[in-house]
Every structure is written in structure tokens, then in C-alpha cells.
Structure 1
Amino acid sequence: MMIKTLLASGLLALCASTTALAQADYPVNRVTLVTHSSPGGGTDVFLRALTKHLGGVMKTSFAVENIRGGSGATAVAHVAKGPADGSILYGTTPTYIQTTLLSKPQVGYDGLDPVVIIFIDPEVIFTRADSPFKTLADVVAHAKANPGKSRWGASNPASLERIAMEKLARAGGVKVPIISHEGGGDQMIGVLNGTYDIGVGEMQEIQGQLEAGKIRLLATLSETRIESLPQLPTAKEQGLNVVVRKFRGLAAPKGMPDNVAKAWEDAVKKVLALPAYKAEYTKEHLTPMVLGREAARRFTADVAAETTLSFKELGIIK
């Protein structure tokens, strides 16, 4: 009788343990992460690198789907109509907020629910390697001493990079023509040939020119120094109070259960600690900043408010 009781107790314990493990598993066996980015673009690369490591942690399979159109609006609408069971999410950046403010699509950024913020993707100010500018103060002093002769490069007119340059000019008390482009390539050419005194971009897109010794970094527009570039001062440290927050995260259709959202927060924390993944994102100079759903909601709302104010100051929206 004693043996039967012990066996029964053991079986109950095993069943309980098995049930706990089953409950800990992610509720769906396949997850699609959607991006408006084209294959090889920034968010596409970010999502594919992330999912390569997430599969083993979350015990589920992943696919990245590229949905183009409407500067992200088509992808956002597609995800918003999907099930809220954790099987589909959207790779977020400030673009989905900017697109909403500028084009007022049927489904905007607020049609999705932020689940987790994963990285801050620092924006940096750079100049050609043989330019006379060693600091932002040098750039501002040159603009003040040579009215009408300075030119600064940026991405398209409504980009975060363009906003950053406008803020930098205001902080420095200078009026400088800021020339916009459709992408970083044309801007880089302008910096390299001396057409522009400075340019602005993400580390990933300028890394090749930096490693080739063709450009020099002057500042990061992050709140604090980039951990992998401790020698690079922030704009704030150089007397120009300009901070822009380019983030990378995930958002889901509204109605995702709390336990599923928590599973993402927990999984992201584990993945960021993996040595193999840490080596990858450190090389890309991405700064981890894990915010769970509630914090991600507040963060996204703050960025949207900041972007709205910036667009109004630039006269882009009323």
C-alpha cells in the first residue's frame, strides 16, 4: 500500500511538472514577424537575427514576412487584422509613428499594441575623415562664421534623421540648409565629397565607411554614450541638448493576453544575454533597452508626442 501511494504521488508530481512545462510553452507553434522593410533592410536584418536565437528560447518556429507599401501602413494594417494569440507581430521603429502622423492611414501606429521594446539604435553625426571639424562646436562655429556656406545632409524630409538635424541647428543657434535624400547612400556621397559638412545616420549603415577610414564620428545623439564606442561623446556633452530615440521593438494586434506579452519580455531578456547574439548586436552598436508591455506603451506614446511636436515645429503638420 505504501509503495502504491508513493508511486501515485510520484505520478501526480510528474503530471504536475509536465503540465507546468506545457503551460510555460509558447501558445502557438509558428510566429510571423512582419516588417515594411525590404529584404536586407534595417528592420528585416534585425528581425532575422533576433529570430535565429529566439526559436531555441521560446520553443517555437519563426518566419519574417516583408510587406511593402504605404511607408509601413500596409504592413501595420495587415498585422492589426491578425489574431491576437501571439502568432503575428510587427517590427516597430519610429517610422510607423511618423507614417501615421503624416499620411493618417486607416490603421495607424495606435492600431497596434506595443509588446516589447528591445533596442535603442543610436543616431550619430559624422563628417569626412579629412574635414577640419573635430567636434560639433567646430561645425557650429563654421556655420556661424560662414553664413550661407554650410550644408548638412539628412534622409528624407520627414525622417527622424532630418528632425535630428533641425534640432541640432536650433540648439546651435544657426540657420543651415539641410539637404534631404531618399536614403543614406546619397547623403554619404555628399559628405565624402565635401558637399555637406556633416551627415547623420545609424551605425549599421555607415560602418563600412568608418572601418575604411573615410569618415570620422563627431557625436552620438543618444542620451548616454554608446557602450561599444565609449570614446564618442554625446551631443549633450558638447553643449547641444539634442537627443533622438530610434528604437526597435515589437507590437501585436490588440487583445494579446498578458501571459503571452510577458512571455515575449522574458524571452527577449534571455536572448539578449546569449553570448552569440550579444556578439552580433554589439558589433552593430545596438543598445539593449528591454521594456515590457506597459512600459513599451508609455514609451511609444512619449515618442509619438515628441514626434508630433517636432513635426509642428518644422511646419510639416499643423
Structure 2
Amino acid sequence: MIHRRTLLTTAAAAAAATALAPLNAMAQATDAWPSRPIRLVVPFPPGGSADFLGRLVAEKITLATGWVMVVENRAGAAGNIGLDAVAKAAPDGYTIGIGQTANMAINPALYAKMPFDPLKDLAPVALVASQPMVVTVKADAPYRTLAELLAAIKKSAEPMRVAFAGNGTVAHLTIELLERHAGISLVNVPYKGSGPAVNDLRAGHVDFFVGNSISVLGQVNAGSLRALAVTSPARLKALPAVPTVAESGFADFDAQTWSGVVTPAGVPQPILARLYTEVTRVLARPEVLAKFAAEGSTAATGRSTQQFVELVRAEHRSWGELVRQAKIQID
């Protein structure tokens, strides 16, 4: 009997050790993280706002921690290609990405087929920054306020032309929102980028342009464009004299593009917590806040991971509803 009990006890201990082995291995891997370079996927081309934010975060984290962070631009399909690579990566904390309004909130309704589910396949970690859209006209246009522009649109015998960069973008959907709030109808003129759109605005081929703050700030400050309104709830620090759309008569109007750090679903919680800590430390640095402000961005200081999760879900619902109502789709 004693021999049998000893065997049973030994077998149970062996089974428990076998069951705990994967957990112990995961704990050891988590404790050692990061032991090799971390890949930060920016799902847009170099030079854009997501690239600027991603590279700034990677640079400051590397300087503060000694980690090796490698930025990889994987552009295409409005951010879907790069973020799909993140969603399908091993959930070990060595592949992270920049999630944005377009690829996490708009694209699921915009594209007939999505390669990933942003609500299930990705884990939001830390919101980084946001940028409003800016309604702009050329410097010698007769409109000095949004109200004057809207009045001219309503009086015009022919629909006025509005330029923006890319179908299904936040700028495009902001125009849809403005049409609905103001009771106007416009001719939408999409471009492949902000540069060509602004060039056509200055040449008089379109009547006004809606683009994110980063894309227009330089020309507004240089005096070649005039900003009439920003679409965030509060005025932009970089354009303090420019009122919000809400101040211009449309209460609660809010249309912004945001960016944040995301990982594949299933990354261990201690790694997520460490990532969050390091990103939020970056956002607290005065020089980072100054750079964001100079570029027309607002740093997301003081926002928790849960608040980022809730933002993604809320924006997924609201932008998706607008895309479906406007019947916008990309095959």
C-alpha cells in the first residue's frame, strides 16, 4: 500500500510539473523580454504622420531603455497590409505596430473583405496622439470663416468642389459628416495624397481642402493657405486662432485621426504592461510634447490601455455606421 501511494504521489507530481512547464517557460520568456530586437510595423509609407509618430516613439524608447527597436514600413490597402502582418505575428512582444483610425475603425466597414479583425486579432496597448482635420482655402479666397464658406456653398449655382486625400479616409468621412450637419451637397474630389490636392487648391481647380493638421500646418503658417476650422473638440495648440467646427455652429462635431501602439492578441500581460509604461513615459517628455505640438498633433497623455480599447470600439461603431450610411465601399 505504501509503495502504491508513493507511486501515485510521484505520478501526480510529475503530471503537475508537466502541466506547469509551459507556464514556467512563458514566465521565463516574459522576464527576459526583450532579449532581441522589437519590430515596430508602421502600416503607411515613410514621411506621413503615422511614420513620424512611430519613429519618434521607437527612438525615445530605445534611448531610455537600451532596447533595439526596428521600424518597418509596410504600406498598402489603407494600412491593412502592415497591420495584418502584426495581427498574424507570434504573440511574444517582438512584433508591434501602429494602429490608426483608418485601419482599426474605418476599414472593416469600407472593405468587402478584411484580412484581420481589429477587435479580436489585435490588442490596443497605448494611444499615442491624435490630429484633427483642418478645413482650408487658398490664401486669397473670399472666405474667412467656415460660416462664410458654407453660405457660399448653399448659394452656389453649381456644387462646389472639395479636395481630400484618399477615398474612405478620415478626411473623406469628415466631409460626409459636414455635409450632413450643414445640409449641403459637394462634389468630392479624391487625390492620392495631400500634396497634389493642395497644389490643385492653390491653382483654383477645387474650392477647398480638408486634410489632417500635419498635412496643412506648414502652408497655413507660411500664408499660402487659410485655415477656417479644425474638427477636434478643442482648438489646436499649433493653430490657436482657428476655431473648431463645433464653435462654428455644429455642437459636438468631432472628427480626428488617432494613432497608437498595438500588438497581436495574446501577448502576455506583463509585456503589455511594460510596453504601456515605456510609451507613456515617452509621451510625458517635454521635448516629445513640443515636437507633437509643432507637427499639429496632440499627445494622448494620461490615457489608459482600457480607454484606448474603448476608443477603438466606439470609433469602430461610429465610423462604420457612417460608411454604411454613405454607401462607401472599396473592393
Tell me if both proteins adopt one fold, taking TM over 0.5 as the criterion. Answer: yes
Quote the residue 1:271 is aligned against.
282
1:47 aligns with 2:54: yes
Deviations 1:153-195 (A, max 9, x none): 1222211101101211221111121222221122212221223
CA shift at 1:50, angstroms?
A: 1.7
Percent identity over paired residues:
24
Structure 2: distance between partners of 1:307 and 1:264: 28
Structure 2: distance between partners of 1:228 and 1:70: 31
Quote the residue 2:263 is aligned against.
252
SS for the counterpart of 1:207 is: helix
Quote the residue 1:299 is aligned against.
311
Quote the residue 1:148 is aligned against.
158
Quote the residue 2:20 is aligned against.
none
Quote the residue 1:5 is aligned against.
none
Question: Letter of the aligned partner of 1:276 in structure 2?
Answer: E
CA shift at 1:215, angstroms?
A: 0.4
1:64 aligns with 2:71: yes
Shifted more, 95-104 versus 238-247: the winner is 95-104
Quick check: 2:41–2:71 contact (8 Å CA) kept in 1? Answer: yes
Question: Letter of the aligned partner of 1:184 in structure 2?
Answer: S
CA shift at 1:29, angstroms?
A: 4.0
CA shift at 1:26, angstroms?
A: 5.3
Quick check: 1:122–1:246 contact (8 Å CA) kept in 2? Answer: yes
Quote the residue 1:15 is aligned against.
none
1:230 aligns with 2:240: yes
CA shift at 1:314, angstroms?
A: 0.8
Deviations 1:34-74 (A, max 9, x none): 02212223322221122111113333111101223333222
Quick check: 1:148–1:176 contact (8 Å CA) kept in 2? Answer: no
Summarize the alignment of residues 1-318 of structure 1 with structure 2, pairs less than 5 Å apart.
Answer: 27-97=34-104, 98-103=106-111, 104-110=113-119, 111-241=121-251, 242-290=253-301, 291-316=303-328
CA shift at 1:147, angstroms?
A: 3.2
5+ unaligned residues in a row in structure 2: which ranges?
A: 1-29
Task: Give me the TM-score of the superposition, normalised by structure 1.
Answer: 0.86
SS for the counterpart of 1:249 is: strand
Structure 1: distance between partners of 2:77 and 2:201: 29
CA shift at 1:199, angstroms?
A: 0.8
Quick check: 1:262–1:292 contact (8 Å CA) kept in 2? Answer: no
SS for the counterpart of 1:180 is: strand
Structure 1: distance between partners of 2:291 and 2:320: 33
- CA distance 1:69–1:246, change in 2 (3 Å): closer
Structure 1: distance between partners of 2:288 and 2:96: 21
Task: Give me the TM-score of the superposition, normalised by structure 2.
Answer: 0.83
Quick check: 1:26–1:263 contact (8 Å CA) kept in 2? Answer: no
Quick check: 2:171–2:212 contact (8 Å CA) kept in 1? Answer: no
Structure 1: distance between partners of 2:32 and 2:207: 53
Structure 2: distance between partners of 1:233 and 1:193: 26
CA shift at 1:261, angstroms?
A: 1.8
Shifted more, 154-163 versus 71-80: the winner is 71-80
Structure 1: distance between partners of 2:94 and 2:65: 12
The alignment of Structure 1 onto Structure 2 pairs a total of residues equal to 295
Shifted more, 76-85 versus 294-303: the winner is 76-85
CA shift at 1:87, angstroms?
A: 1.3
CA shift at 1:33, angstroms?
A: 0.5
CA shift at 1:223, angstroms?
A: 1.4
SS for the counterpart of 2:247 is: helix
5+ unaligned residues in a row in structure 1: which ranges?
A: 1-22
Shifted more, 273-282 versus 117-126: the winner is 273-282
